[in-house]
Amino acid sequence: MKYDFSEIESKWQKKWQESKVFEAKDDFEKPKFYGLIEFPYPSGAGMHVGHIKAYSGLEVISRKRRMQGYNVLFPIGFDAFGLPTENYAIKTGTHPRQVTDKNIEHFSEQLKKVGFSFDWSRVIDTTDENYYKWTQWIFLKMFEKGLVFRDTALVNYCPSCKVVLSNEDSQGGKCDICKSDIVQKSKDVWYLRITKYADRLLSGLDEVDYLPNIKMQQVNWIGKSTGAFVDFEIKECGEKLRIYTTRPDTLFGVTFMVMAPEHPMIDKYADKIKNFDLISKYREECSKKTEFERTQLVKDKTGVKIEGFTAINPVSGEEIPIYISDYVMMGYGTGAIMAVPAHDERDYDFAHKFGINIKQVIKGGDISKEAYTESGEMINSGFLDGIKEKSVAIKKMTEYLASKGIGEAGVQYKMKDWAFNRQRYWGEPIPIVHCGKCGMVPVPYEELPLRLPEVSNFQPGEGGESPLAKIEEFVTCKCPKCGGPAKRETDTMPQWAGSSWYYLRYVDPKNDKMFASPEKLNYWLPVDWYNGGMEHVTRHMIYSRFWHKFLYDLGLVPTDEPYAKRTAQGLILGPDGEKMSKSKGNVVDPNETVEKYGADVLRVYILFMGDYASAAPWSESSVRGCKRFLERVADLPGLVKDDCKDKLDSHFHKAVKKVSSDMEELKFNTAIAQLMTLLNEIEDYGEISKEQYSVYLRLLSPFAPHLCEELWEKSGEKEMIALAPWPKYDESKTVDSTVEIAVQVNGKVRGTVCVAPDEEKDSVFKKVFADEKLAGNFTGKTVVKEIYIPGKIVNIVVK
RNA sequence: GCGGGUGUGGUGGAACGGCAGACACGAUGGUCUUAGGAGCCAUUUCUUCGGAGUGUGGGUUCAAAUCCCACCACCCGCACCA
């Protein structure tokens, strides 16, 4: 058959759309499969090959599930709020709404050309007011439950985008969007109290099936540590300075203490500090330091001794000096530490620079050279002396602290509360009203959605305030509580808001009474399999797990965790092996491949190019190889014979087994390789039965659906292959009647012998020793040991 | 620095502790052609043809790419988290 892919592909894309085969049915009797891919941000640049790889994995799984008889929900939507669209709108003077609509249309068209089996009847758009109504609704529920709070804080601020960023969006001190250096700025910030869920976000990981590296990253991100809080009295003012430590066992080794520059006690007792001028100067220097300086100068500790403050070690009674230094941060623990230079590298560096005494309390290492951070026998530690186990010493000290009322066991997390506002136009308005009399008042639920007003200028204000602040009609309003004059909040939600619950909306996208009906949620949740990029494993995933757990606590969703299983695809690198980027000029446009080789070739190539979870470079010549493969498949009908012998039968049973299981394990490359091998075998043999042909097409159809539909139809089938039953295999038929196994002598392969898979040992060795080619290996030697693993190998040890 | 991962032909990559290099790409030779960046056939880890080979060096085992120990290189997270 001539393989006219463009004709075949447009024909079947049209048929799929018209017949609605990929629309999920709310048939609660059928077993369900909910496959989720990360919905794209519809950028003006259009689709990237990375999108295709990200979607292809679950695309083939979803197609397989339909063939296995599942009711499949494989939805698509658009995460369309966000800065790039807004920046483009500012640049071109177009409204973000128009930009978004145009981009979504363009994106949809491109996705359809690849033949993804998405349910296009459930498309969602986070910027649609019928969608963001519910984003605001959930926010108000959180407000109601005390999970939303406002605070003035030093925030990560991007001077270029003029926007406050969360810690997650400013990793490494760079803006996630424009890569500019972040500065610290004092601002009013809305927070979501995600830390309240820290422990459950951590323990919930035990119940889900995420790839190990994904779990690990989330565990790291949450960053739980256990230790103790200890109170040190300050002699001069009598107040207790509370610190957090993971090493209470080293309490006897404390030789100084350090406070963060922003620690409130410094201002509180300014009059008692003799060198306050010096301290103030140091604090100023710290606030000016860029993130770069702070991270690059880690080894070079700076600080100032607080003259006039002396702390008292609560267990030894020793008097110890207190310093301020920016190696201690206000944002973690209590903003103050006990320093044990003998057993902590950072404290050691600091003590070394400032000439502070170093007191060893754990035996081992060489304290004159470096801090000893391993475990060992406790010394110079009063009642802990002689203990060799770190955990025992920690336990004993913690119990002692608690019994004396000078401390207690404690837990800390690296994860911070979620800064939840942006001073931008293209986001969900925060539905809160500020009333002089009543304070912060939520917009009543029945007034949702709180719509974005029409604005002509999307440029943020110079002071970093939202463009909404300039719209008088929007800002001025009545307090929903007292009816008095009030002002609306003008900040909008961050991009991560809409994506925190979108998988819930897919279940019931047109519901106007609720974000989704309980019956439908009950049936479809949890998401059975979620695939996406590693870059979203810490931010988007943790945020959405948090929202989900919140909704679960309100009884609004049926499961504690949203995603039962999570995998991640590897990057597609440029042909040069580098990460694709416009500046390197190594970006591959998927549309060109579709035009030139067809969507089926593109799909097969992307899944064949390498291990799905690893990065792999693009290779156009390999794309051509996949084209050749499909062309040969298109010629397969010529080999179909009615009276074909069943010589290849076991090959087919093996292939069904391998392709089926490889797909489940994300090993699409070897699944396709198996189909290639089978094709080679068929061509070598020269004929194939009608039934075998049918099996072959069904196995290949998730990967190359257009071509397989066409061949399927040509072979006389009336129904689409998309709903044909997935082939089954017979385990007993995957085993050959004879196998050729290797014969090793002293571990080296010396020949082979043909035996039955379960042949008796005696019989096998009779054949081995009768073999003329092998005989030379035994002459003049004594057989010491005979090893036979049925179906695998023979190894003979001789001397 | 900490955490995780990877290391196999010219290339992408296969390989439940059991014949390393499946499947492809590329290359070489042949065939068919006015032509070949098409198709088909053959060869393709290295080799002094004895063997040697999965980053390096040890170990466990009848048997190691695979398990254990040490080291080296690269990639990805986090980064003064007390």
**Sequence-ordered alpha helix ranges (H) in A555-648:** 590-597, 599-608, 620-634
Instruction: Count helices and strands (H / E) in chain A.
Output: 25, 28
pLDDT digits (tens, 9 = 90+) for A172-183: 666 766 667 667
Mean pLDDT for A411-422 is: 90
Q: Does position A171 have pLDDT exceeding 70, yes or no?
A: no
Nucleotide B48 C1' to residue A799 CA (A): 29
Token pair in block for residue A583 = 């500046």
Task: Note the pLDDT of residue A212.
Answer: 86
Residues of chain A above pLDDT 90, percent:
67
Q: Does position A636 have pLDDT exceeding 80, yes or no?
A: yes
What is the average pLDDT value for chain A, to the nearest integer?
90
Q: Which nucleotides of B are covered by protein (CB under 7 A)?
A: 3-5, 11-16, 18-20, 22-26, 38-41, 52, 62-64, 75-82
pTM of the model: 0.92
pLDDT digits (tens, 9 = 90+) for A447-470: 989 999 988 777 777 667 788 988
CA torsion A772-A777-A779-A783 (nearest 10°) is -110
Nucleotide B33 C1' to residue A80 CA (A): 55
Task: Note the pLDDT of residue A279.
Answer: 93
Amino acid at A58: L
Task: Note the pLDDT of residue A111.
Answer: 96
Would the Cβ of A121 be found within 7 angstroms of any atom in strand B?
Answer: no
Task: Note the pLDDT of residue A168.
Answer: 62
Task: Note the pLDDT of residue A153.
Answer: 75
Specify the pairing of strand A476-478 against strand A485-488: antiparallel
Task: Note the pLDDT of residue A121.
Answer: 97
Token pair in block for residue A536 = 């979203």
pLDDT digits (tens, 9 = 90+) for A667-678: 999 999 999 999
Q: Tell me which residues from 376 to 415 on chain A have a beta carbon below 7 angstroms from nucleic acid strand B.
A: 412, 414
Q: Does position A18 have pLDDT exceeding 90, yes or no?
A: yes
Would the Cβ of A326 be found within 7 angstroms of any atom in strand B?
Answer: yes
Nucleotide B22 C1' to residue A397 CA (A): 60
Contact A424, A163 (CB under 8 A): yes
Mean pLDDT for A202-206 is: 92
Task: Note the pLDDT of residue A259.
Answer: 94
Alpha-carbon span A422 to A418, nearest angstrom: 12
Q: Does position A761 have pLDDT exceeding 80, yes or no?
A: yes
Q: A751, exposed or middle or buried, with CB in 10 Å at 0-12, 13-18, 19+?
A: middle
**Sequence-ordered alpha helix ranges (H) in A147-305:** 198-203, 212-222, 264-268, 276-288, 291-296
Q: Which residue has the tokens 């207190």?
A: A322
pLDDT digits (tens, 9 = 90+) for A238-250: 899 999 999 999 9
* Closest nucleotide relative to residue A621's CA, C1' based: B25
Task: Note the pLDDT of residue A170.
Answer: 66
Nearest to residue A350, comparing CAs of A250, A255, A276, A414? A255
pLDDT digits (tens, 9 = 90+) for A709-753: 999 999 999 999 999 999 999 988 888 888 888 888 888 888 888
Contact A244, A356 (CB under 8 A): no
Would the Cβ of A373 be found within 7 angstroms of any atom in strand B?
Answer: no
Nucleotide B60 C1' to residue A672 CA (A): 37
Residue A764 backbone phi and psi in degrees, to 5: -65, -45
- Complex ipTM value: 0.94
A617 secondary structure, DSSP code: E
Q: Does position A271 have pLDDT exceeding 80, yes or no?
A: yes
CB proximity list for A109: less than 8 A, separation 6 or greater: none
Q: Does position A609 have pLDDT exceeding 70, yes or no?
A: yes
List the single protein residue with the shortest CA to C1' distance from B38: A628
Alpha-carbon span A593 to A5, nearest angstrom: 12
Would the Cβ of A609 be found within 7 angstroms of any atom in strand B?
Answer: yes
Task: Note the pLDDT of residue A648.
Answer: 86
CB proximity list for A10: less than 8 A, separation 6 or greater: none
List the single protein residue with the shortest CA to C1' distance from B6: A614
Would the Cβ of A250 be found within 7 angstroms of any atom in strand B?
Answer: no
